[in-house]
Structure 1
């Protein structure tokens, strides 16, 4: 039997590397070694995937077949050593499992700010397994850590402090998430974390509202000429 290999990176299947296929079309000829590789291929594969699913349902040539919904604009944060904010715009289907994942993956401060965003790790391993790992630094994702800080203490849970790896981030309401909007949420979380650590819980609580978030965004954007040109408010 021929050895299966990853459609994206070419890595071959082994005892350590188990191949996966798309859960939508289950095309056996397209294999992936990880969720990262599957996410990279999705913009191309989704066309093939839709055709395969329609064919299986017998609607391949149906003229009145319901068109696929427009993708939801999201952002990939790849992270990495000395890469605090490394965004790439992407699109994900509106039925992506991210939207039905645990509420624990929603940024707490973004919820209080009125712009709840949800974070989906592309790695499937336990982030805590990398405490002593040689690749620990390469899996850092500092901006994600700040997005997940506790609104009162300014500290993120341990599982969001290491071993994170690349993630996909989208708005819970499925509205487009731009890179500039994500930067605003990230820097807001960073600011509130600093306030919580330096001035305490009561001071941090003053930022726990949509109005406080939007007011802070105006100050952040107005403080830099480039941001004034490129950022859109309100978020």
Structure 2
């Protein structure tokens, strides 16, 4: 018997975690879920560079050099500090020591997220931008979704930290995005993906807030 699940982080597949048994058996949904949780923890450990060894496979992705390709708007050369729109979030502890405390952290972060979304919605209404208003309305709908929060709380109860629960739900959303043919639904799922990034930044305190000014010589 064979059971395998992808080791993925934020929709990026890093590998496959497999268990096998010489005896014939049918793996249950609980077995699959447990293996997915282990795979998620392994993905976070890899991001932290927890595995010892040589070669790129053992190096934390955020510690590797990276090449950025941009579209040319004006011929010439530019030199400055690269500013990532969605900076890499590094989670230092993927396992929840106290699930109730993690759920409290998630609730507080989501409360903060809702306030931020409501502020953006109010500002958009003043600008009378109908297209942007539609996006902000979708943001508010997702930010107030009980189902979204419940799914993440269930992941926390399984032993994951709040940040990892958000990432796991985000990975599931990205997987759904890849299968949805309707462009409107894909856009709405993209909104949820962006909202997850905002929630991660609130939980970890990493990344750049919307109000923060750009660094000097930003590219």
TM-score surpassing 0.5? no
Give the alignment's TM-score, normalised by structure 1.
0.25
Which structure has more relative contact order (CA 8 Å, sep 6+)? It is 2
**Which has the larger helix fraction?**
2
Taking structure 2 as the reference length, what is the TM-score of the superposition? 0.26
